[in-house]
Structure 1
Amino acid sequence: MAPKVDPIQSDDQMPRSTQVVVIGGGVIGVATAFFLARAGVPVVLCEKGHIAGEQSSRNWGWTRVMGRDERELPLGLLSLDLWRQMNELTGRETGFRQCGILYACDDQKQLDEFLAWKDVADTYQIRTVVTDGAKTGEMAGGSQRLFKGGLFCPTDGRAEPTKAVPAIAQAAHEHGAVILEHCAVRMLDRKGGKVCGVLTERGAIACDTVVLAGGAWSRLFAGNEGLDLPALNVLGSVMRVDNVEGGPEESVGGSDFAFRKNLQGGYNISRRNVSVSDITPDTLRQFTKFIGSYLQTHKELRLRIGRRFLDEWRMNRKWTADSVTPFEQIRTLDPEPSHRYLEEAARIIKRDFPPFRTMREVERWGGLIDVTPDAVPIVDQSKIIPGLVLGTGFSGHGFGIGPGAGKLLSEIVMNTRTSVDPAPFAFERFDR
């Protein structure tokens, strides 16, 4: 089951030419289109399904800098600043609230890891507060769990994925962006090796630049163009609950749980520090690229093999502009959530946090996250295909840094001074 996403007013007529085409209607794609359109750049966004149909509406809804890789911190700070303005920028309710995020630690080892991160955060003037065990439990809804301590970032927040992404898309449309839903881009059109347009299921659109922001589909699309994009898909699972009285405003994460308040008055919960990944042909193809990551995270990663291996084995990986592509055959990735880990999370949260003792499940869903070998995104101009800009591989961090990433991508496209240094997100780092 998928969460219900706010509908938008999209376009029926496809233009034959524009300056920029954005592939993908998730948070990265719509934010890119928004900042381009706001700057007066003609842009068309093509989405094979509907806006925010996949992971961009299925994530936790956290908007944070806390705990991020240092390479992401400037982008995270830029994004938080944009999130604070997002209701005004879009003219709509995005659900953003500066509620703060608390990481609760069970033991000294966990606490030391966050204290080491705090030392890095201090150099960026990020405000954080160290809490003792009692204060951590108090902030986490009066929990009696014996926490060692915690780290709280009061400037972090939350937003509603099902509202925020459509709001940004609609605002992009109002600034002049053309939004095409149910319009899959099949291939790039090239002249002399350089991008000169895209070939969609509805026909061709001439353009100077293409931004690939296809999320879990980016690797497949890039592969057909001869570009080996390092990414594997990981399953994320979320449960929405209600009937929680007196729960915390803060979003809280611990070693085995996570929850945040939603606009409906309930909470979205999940099992933290567990990632489920199906073994697929791509897992084997990219074994050497991901072995280092696996060795570092094997305690958190749950590998499984099942139907998805055969489904992807049968999936066409090469096609022409005349072919019906996988993007048209599967308009929306709607994976089954991990029921086991959601039920485990619900059991832990009910047991350890008094306000949740009477909670009731409303719905649950799964989504696929595209993860790079170092869990840091690719935001870069392709050196192999001139005219192609990559905005992908956000590794489960994309919603929170989506606004900043969209702004950065728009600046790369326009060849203007960038708000943050894009060098840490270079595609070529995987060749070193």
Structure 2
Amino acid sequence: MQSFPFSDATTRRFSAALPAQADVVVVGGGVVGVSTALFLTRAGQKVVLLEKGCIAGEQSSRNWGWIRQQGRDPDELPIMVEANRLWRELATQTNQDIGLTQGGVTYLAQSEAQMARYADWIAHARDAGVDTRLLSATEAADLVPGMSKKYAGALHTASDMRAEPWLAVPAVAEIAQREGAVIIENCAVRCLDLAAGRVAGVVTERGRVAAPEVVLAGGAWSALFLRNHGVALPQLSVRATVAATSALPVVAAGGIADDEIAFRARVDGGYTLAPGGFHELFLGWDALRALPKFLTQLRAAPFGTRFLPVAPKGYPDGWRTPRHWSGDQPSPFEALRVLNPKPNVSRANRLKSQFAQLFPELPDFQLSHAWAGMIDTMPDIVPVVDRVAALPGLTLGTGMSGHGFGIGPAMGRVLADLAQGKPPGHDLTRFRLARFSDGSRMHLGPAL
């Protein structure tokens, strides 16, 4: 069984001379940053996207690849509906097949109580014009034949899709580059360049770029970047393990999940497998500081997180990772170019056993790869998408909480409009940064 098959050394493909100035600098080359750069470029802005490692080197290439409207927080859902449309458009504009497939998403229910929760969520789907429906036990078995377990029914959204993230995000970056965005990999932004209390550009390891606007889409690194500028963000990063099987007969066209396992077909004929509701948190100073904000989430799912006492060297919340530095000295972003956590091998092997038990008629198979990613998550499991009042000229898009790949293109469009002072087209009240400092209670929406 091999580790993550697309290393940073083999996927770097974007380089250019560092411009002296730009209209907007985008920090971070994941799906959100890449999409932001694309829509800013289409709006006529001179855009520079800077990535410390490689485009989609971290969670944006390591996720499940689901493009999912189903089960979204109701405040995210209208943005996700837009993203569903944008993915279809982008797939026709790229020069390669990104594996975009409308196979639907299905949540299998193991009890009538679970079916009742699914039924409650359908009202949100109906309000957003999404085609979600409940399936009976017989319909669920017919949709995913050959399962050894019997389910009470399912929640199903036929219009949901999947794509191969390690192909899709670089493909969107190539569209942005072709349309005029300057994209530079292996160029860390150390800090903001500030003048008279507002953003004047960024300081990189290669020099300064002057710009009146900056968009921070740094994923798991965002809180560390902001802390260096005195802005507190209760964002943590959790390790999630994923595995891929060798080629197998088709058992389902779309994404399928129950309480224990999630899986979806891949373009190479195998399946991507992931554990349902399980992740691991490396403890550090930021985790301790943020704990009070996360108590609501921990109480709601007390057994979904495994705590690990020490983060690997250089991780954003490592015990010895610097929290403060100046622009004329190397930053933590240069010390660790790509977060490439080791997978939980025992959990990956358990996934293989669970999948084989669920589909006993499948031939013997192996896990071809297992890998892990660090998911940037917020206490209420929805992102921060907002202007940063303490740093005028900075727009923040982070904490996608495992939802970033699917919603990325629309979040990028929203961030592009925010950075230009345009109406974002959606109600972003739920995603404001101030909710963590204005006394608001942490509210977990009725997401599934």
1:261 aligns with 2:259: no
Counterparts of 1:275-314 in structure 2, within 5 Å, are: 275-308=279-312, 312-314=318-320
Q: Partner residue of 1:317? A: 323
| Cα distance between partner residues in 2 of 1:97 and 1:124 | 22
Which 10-residue stretch deviates more, 349-358 or 253-262?
349-358
| Cα distance between partner residues in 2 of 1:246 and 1:169 | 31
Matched pairs, number: 432
Give SS of 1:287's match: helix
| Cα distance between partner residues in 1 of 2:361 and 2:11 | 33
Q: What's the CA shift string for 1:43-63, capped at 9, x where partnerless? A: 000000010000000000000
- The sequence identity of aligned pairs, in percent, is 38
User: Aligned-pair distance for 1:112?
Assistant: 1.5
Give SS of 2:319's match: helix
Give SS of 1:313's match: coil
Q: What's the CA shift string for 1:302-339, capped at 9, x where partnerless? A: 22223549971111110001111110010011111122
TM-score, length basis structure 2: 0.93
1:92 aligns with 2:96: yes
Q: Partner residue of 2:443? A: none
Which 10-residue stretch deviates more, 170-179 or 331-340?
331-340
1:57 aligns with 2:61: yes
Q: Partner residue of 2:357? A: 351
| Cα distance between partner residues in 2 of 1:355 and 1:203 | 59
Q: 1:190 aligns with which of 189, 194, 212?
A: 194
| Cα distance between partner residues in 1 of 2:361 and 2:107 | 18
Matched residue type, 1:73: L
Gaps (5+ residues) in structure 2? Answer: 441-448
User: Aligned-pair distance for 1:285?
Assistant: 1.4
Q: What's the CA shift string for 1:131-167, capped at 9, x where partnerless? A: 1223213322421311111011000010110000000
Give SS of 2:192's match: strand
Q: Partner residue of 1:11? A: 15
Counterparts of 1:153-168 in structure 2, within 5 Å, are: 153-168=157-172
Gaps (5+ residues) in structure 1? Answer: none
Matched residue type, 2:298: Y
Q: CA RMSD in A?
A: 1.6
User: Aligned-pair distance for 1:342?
Assistant: 1.9
| Cα distance between partner residues in 1 of 2:333 and 2:362 | 40
Q: Partner residue of 1:133? A: 137
> Contact 1:104/1:136 (CA < 8 Å) preserved in 2?
yes
1:48 aligns with 2:52: yes
User: Aligned-pair distance for 1:8?
Assistant: 6.2
1:2 aligns with 2:22: no
| Cα distance between partner residues in 2 of 1:47 and 1:307 | 23
User: Aligned-pair distance for 1:3?
Assistant: 3.2
Q: Partner residue of 1:361? A: 367
Q: What's the CA shift string for 1:80-121, capped at 9, x where partnerless? A: 011111212334322211110111011112221111111221
Which 10-residue stretch deviates more, 134-143 or 229-238?
134-143
Matched residue type, 1:324: P
User: Aligned-pair distance for 1:355?
Assistant: 5.6
| Cα distance between partner residues in 1 of 2:335 and 2:173 | 24
TM-score, length basis structure 1: 0.96
User: Residue 138 and residue 358 in structure 1: after superposition, are their counterparts in 2 closer, same or farther (change >3 A)?
Assistant: farther
User: Residue 124 and residue 12 in structure 1: after superposition, are their counterparts in 2 closer, same or farther (change >3 A)?
Assistant: closer
Which 10-residue stretch deviates more, 2-11 or 280-289?
2-11
Q: 2:430 aligns with which of 424, 427, 430?
A: 424
